[in-house]
Structure 1
Amino acid sequence: MIISTSNHPLEPLTAEEITAAVHILRAEKDLDEFCRFASVNLLEPSKELVLRWSPGDSFEREAFCIVFNYKKNQTFEAIVSLSGNKVKSWTHVPGMQPGILLEEFEACQRIVKEHPEMQEAFRKRGITDFARIMVDPWSAGNFGIEEEIGVRLVRAICYYKTSDYDNGYARPLSGLYAIFDLNRLQVMKIVDKGPVPLPPLDGNYTPDKVGPLRTDLKPLEIVQPEGPSFTTNGHEISWQKWKIRFGFTSREGLVLHTVSYWDKDVYRPILYRASLSEMVVPYGDPTNPVNRNNAFDAGEYGIGALANSLELGCDCLGEIRYFNANLVDGEGNAVVIKNAVCLHEEDFGILWKHTDWRTGQVEVRRSRRLVLSSISTVGNYEYGFFWYFYQDGTIQFEVKLTGILHTQALEPGERVPYGNLIAPQLVAAHHQHFFNVRMDMMIDGVDNSIYEVNTSSMPPGPDNPYENGFIPVSTQLKTETEAIRDMDIRSSRYWKIVNPAKKNPVGDPVGYKLFPGENAFPFASDNSSLIKRAGFLKHHLWCTPYNPKEKYASGDYPNQHAGGAGLSSWVQQDRSLDNTDVVVWYTMGHHHVTRPEDWPVMPTAYIGFSLKPVGFFDRSPALDVPPSKPKHGSSCHSDHGPSCGSKK
């Protein structure tokens, strides 16, 4: 039996606990060499246990494991008690495929490059150095193709690197790809529509290849001589008035737990759990093979499994605290991703300011925010996932998108309507990135309600003589189907989550509002494979009553699933959302019409949303932020005269 050193029921599994879980499973279930470990993560205790738990209370440590037998093409779920040193449950999940493993990626690339027919196709394109072939295994999806049903597959799309360190995406081998059987580790089918000339430019982006670098960029140092303002205890963070617990899973990556804010001499809860539920990247190219590019990057690949090891000075600046992520590989070995999570503070400009022009009195406060982040590389793209916490009680989630576009080669002079030329003979298809974030709300307690707020113009009349009046109107969304909603900029629509049992001094229920940012709609039809498998893309807001089994908007096993699972099916129960334990699901989309400036590496694009207090506090919670220390004889607080930054 492993002795857990965890000081909280939600602490992620240690590498030792993962190793123990694998050992227990192997011993009790007599697992053979055909079994792969798709994931081993903490089985989170019940919400009731976590909320009533106090330091010193005992709790059981359990691991939730997904095991795949590739010889039998069978998926199993297991619950392993680390405290009791036993397997508590072992369940066959018929017809389901877990996400693609890194070992499968590597095997696919190696075997495809070695295949005689593929090598002959490479030679037809003038390529003889097969070591410089780059193979990207893309998920197969589910398009009802008879020969693919029940077979664990990927599509192998190939590129050519003119040297070991060149940008392989500059020279795609368009017209050539393979269907690869991951269970048998063999090429199932090769499609070769004939050679397309390789694009002429290298597309390199390393410092030694891009030409002279700028020489006028002076050092910018982030210095906190007294150290950061936050403290940590395991995976619990205390910063300003925030208390935040976080975890990390192979599928979701960074997960928030039990987020609360100190107010009125108590930590008031806001969120119980929040995470990336799913992300989907559909492409607008209708030609084979890109027309099957509908990557479910969380459910098919695993955002956590693909997390980067972050580097000080490159990914993060300032006084940094890093956290490792403990995962498992297909063989059952514990894998430690060093520095997978970054925690730091950063200045965020002016928090609030006012100058009394009559007296000359100036009051200004600098805003500081806490940043909790991780970055994952999924094939050609990088995604940064950032949670921000502000001194005024705001929570913000932001995704930063960068990396390299998915490319195809064209004949000289050729153009296509579904993508733009980003370099000579090189096209990048227009595409979209959708992210669904699941938020288990807990506004001052478990029982909450949802309201939609729309602003409308007042009608002309005696009460609105100059026809300038407008009124925000709140409407409760009482059931799941009522809460299937979309953004509307004409009415400045937002949604608020309130606790009807807790009132603020003006008599309104305390709450937080979900304030949308950039968004989009998918362009695929309802009959498309994409929408059948990811129905949650059709709307921006979904709400459900809490169910611990409903975690992922695309369902538990989206890989090669035919569709109909997940959020869009759950809400058909039309359960009540009135004064209950509410989960909010928000879908946001980045619409990417490609451009030459996105090549060879795309400058970062940003998409996100905010949760802002609305009547949660009695007044601005940022009033007690102290003035900054004077610099160069100036002051950020004065009874007369200059503003911050001026000299007396």
Structure 2
Amino acid sequence: MTELPRQLMNHPLDPVTAREIAEVRRIVDRAGLVTEHTRFVYVGLDEPSKQEVLGGTDARRFRVLLLDLATQVSRDVLVDLAGGEVARNDVLDTVTGGQLPVLDEEFELVEQLLAKDERWLAALAERGLDVADVRVAPLSAGVYADEYPDEAGRRLLRGLAFRQDHPADPAWAHPIDGLVAYVDTINRAVDRVIDTGPVPIPAASGNYEDPEVSGPPRRTLRPIEISQPEGVSFQLDGNLLTWENWSVRVGFDAREGLLLHQLGFAGRPIIYRASIAEMVVPYADPSPVRSWQNYFDTGEYLVGRYANSLERGCDCLGEITYLEAVIADEAGNPARCATRCASTRRTSASCGSTPTCGPVRRRPAASAGW
């Protein structure tokens, strides 16, 4: 990729730059922590404390979560960017501390492994299904050591199945219930398949972009035009946004997504830090297939990595300023997560598919609706 221009850091909460991420990777590699099997699960700014920020610190530290797919070792690493060294290197106990967030490549791996498992294929055949038409949503498993003592410390995903009637079909509309598989992604093995028997698969289409499903597009809405001939009312200095008496620092993190710091009004502090700390989705289904289903979208899946880049004249109209965010991919290299573009006054546009953050691939249709 083309390296992004480096901005001089003048505030400890300035956005992460591509050059900083590249330097963090270099430091971690130089410390002997990177092999061909190493995956950078997360790289993000280790924010200074509130007292340090208000005191004017210039420290830039990064937290790096590493997973070695060969040795099964998980690490929590702290990198001192100014000192050019690893300040902390903790090997995690996955039995007591749990697993690192799910890797993007693991989503694809689970479906590939199940497509060759005889138990899985037999369960699909009993339901009259072709494995080529089945998408798998590989989900964070949790640990149920009381029921399955051998799960402790292992990196497992539990896969739920969905039928996809054609390549553009949203498979979520056709859940294949009564069936779940437990997959060990490190050892690339299907641990167990639970099949409680066939259940009727919903046949209704979920493709609401199909006029046969949602009806013809509306023709009653009149054009809208948004313009500010004298320019915008806000000012953006780096990541410091000011508007009227309001001020806020806008940031972005691969785990939490949008970050807001030092929100104030007329010079008075209101909120020091705001973010989506976690988004929990408990399904509370007692069946043996779904009793474990309980998502933690921020901590387990790093929702910020799946942000879509906005498109000029498509997602927003009028005088628009887009902010750029940079994260690390699973190889530890910098990747764009959004684009900064010039203002636009286009009043209409046909929106195509928007790219996901950086080089991160889209999940299969069955798991793309998060």
- Report the equivalent of 2:284: 284
Once the two structures are superposed, the pairs formed by residues 416-455 of structure 1 within 5 Å of their partners are: none
In structure 2, how many angstroms separate the alpha carbons of the residues matched to 1:240 and 1:380?
A: 44
Gaps of 5+ in 1: 345-373, 383-402, 405-648
Query: Is the 8 Å Cα contact of residues 262 and 269 (structure 2) preserved in structure 1?
Result: yes
- Report the equivalent of 1:182: 185
- Report the equivalent of 2:309: 309
Q: 1:509-563: per-residue Cα shift (whole Å, max 9, x none)? A: xxxxxxxxxxxxxxxxxxxxxxxxxxxxxxxxxxxxxxxxxxxxxxxxxxxxxxx
Which of 112, 131, 137 matches 2:114?
112
- Report the equivalent of 1:506: none
- Report the equivalent of 1:324: 324
Q: Residue 48 of structure 1: SS of its match in structure 2? A: helix
Once the two structures are superposed, the pairs formed by residues 185-200 of structure 1 within 5 Å of their partners are: 185-200=188-203
- Following superposition, the deviation at residue 41 of structure 1 comes to 0.7
TM-score (norm 1): 0.49
- Count of equivalent residues: 342
Query: Is the 8 Å Cα contact of residues 174 and 202 (structure 2) preserved in structure 1?
Result: yes
Change over 3 Å in CA distance of 1:381–1:193 after alignment to 2: closer
- Report the equivalent of 1:65: 64
Which of 165, 172, 178 matches 2:175?
172
In structure 2, how many angstroms separate the alpha carbons of the residues matched to 1:291 and 1:165?
A: 30
Question: Does 1:163 find its partner at 2:166?
Answer: yes
- The amino acid that maps onto 1:104 is E
Query: Is the 8 Å Cα contact of residues 4 and 17 (structure 1) preserved in structure 2?
Result: no
In structure 1, how many angstroms separate the alpha carbons of the residues matched to 2:87 and 2:93?
A: 19
Question: Does 1:141 find its partner at 2:133?
Answer: no
Q: 1:409-435: per-residue Cα shift (whole Å, max 9, x none)? A: xxxxxxxxxxxxxxxxxxxxxxxxxxx
- Following superposition, the deviation at residue 199 of structure 1 comes to 2.4
Question: Does 1:334 find its partner at 2:337?
Answer: no
Change over 3 Å in CA distance of 1:114–1:331 after alignment to 2: farther
Q: Residue 214 of structure 1: SS of its match in structure 2? A: coil
Q: 1:60-100: per-residue Cα shift (whole Å, max 9, x none)? A: 32211111223333321212122222222212232231111
- Following superposition, the deviation at residue 106 of structure 1 comes to 2.1
- Following superposition, the deviation at residue 381 of structure 1 comes to 8.6
- The amino acid that maps onto 1:99 is P
Q: Residue 10 of structure 1: SS of its match in structure 2? A: coil
Q: Residue 59 of structure 1: SS of its match in structure 2? A: coil
Change over 3 Å in CA distance of 1:107–1:240 after alignment to 2: same
Once the two structures are superposed, the pairs formed by residues 385-464 of structure 1 within 5 Å of their partners are: none
Change over 3 Å in CA distance of 1:314–1:186 after alignment to 2: farther
Q: Residue 290 of structure 1: SS of its match in structure 2? A: coil
Change over 3 Å in CA distance of 1:9–1:153 after alignment to 2: same
Matched-pair identity in %: 38
Gaps of 5+ in 2: 345-356
- Following superposition, the deviation at residue 339 of structure 1 comes to 4.3
In structure 1, how many angstroms separate the alpha carbons of the residues matched to 2:105 and 2:207?
A: 28
- Report the equivalent of 1:272: 272
Q: Residue 279 of structure 2: SS of its match in structure 1? A: strand
Q: 1:262-289: per-residue Cα shift (whole Å, max 9, x none)? A: 2xxxx22222212111121111321122
Query: Is the 8 Å Cα contact of residues 12 and 41 (structure 1) preserved in structure 2?
Result: no
Query: Is the 8 Å Cα contact of residues 6 and 17 (structure 2) preserved in structure 1?
Result: no
Larger radius of gyration between Structure 1 and Structure 2: 1
- Report the equivalent of 1:564: none
Q: 1:202-250: per-residue Cα shift (whole Å, max 9, x none)? A: 2221144433222212122322222221111221111111111021112
Q: Residue 322 of structure 1: SS of its match in structure 2? A: coil
- The amino acid that maps onto 1:60 is A
In structure 2, how many angstroms separate the alpha carbons of the residues matched to 1:162 and 1:380?
A: 12
Question: Does 1:242 find its partner at 2:243?
Answer: no
Q: Residue 88 of structure 1: SS of its match in structure 2? A: strand
- Report the equivalent of 1:32: 35
Q: Residue 107 of structure 2: SS of its match in structure 1? A: helix
Q: Residue 103 of structure 1: SS of its match in structure 2? A: helix
In structure 1, how many angstroms separate the alpha carbons of the residues matched to 2:23 and 2:154?
A: 31
In structure 1, how many angstroms separate the alpha carbons of the residues matched to 2:243 and 2:322?
A: 16
Change over 3 Å in CA distance of 1:185–1:317 after alignment to 2: farther
Query: Is the 8 Å Cα contact of residues 40 and 328 (structure 1) preserved in structure 2?
Result: yes
Change over 3 Å in CA distance of 1:30–1:295 after alignment to 2: closer
Q: Residue 337 of structure 2: SS of its match in structure 1? A: strand
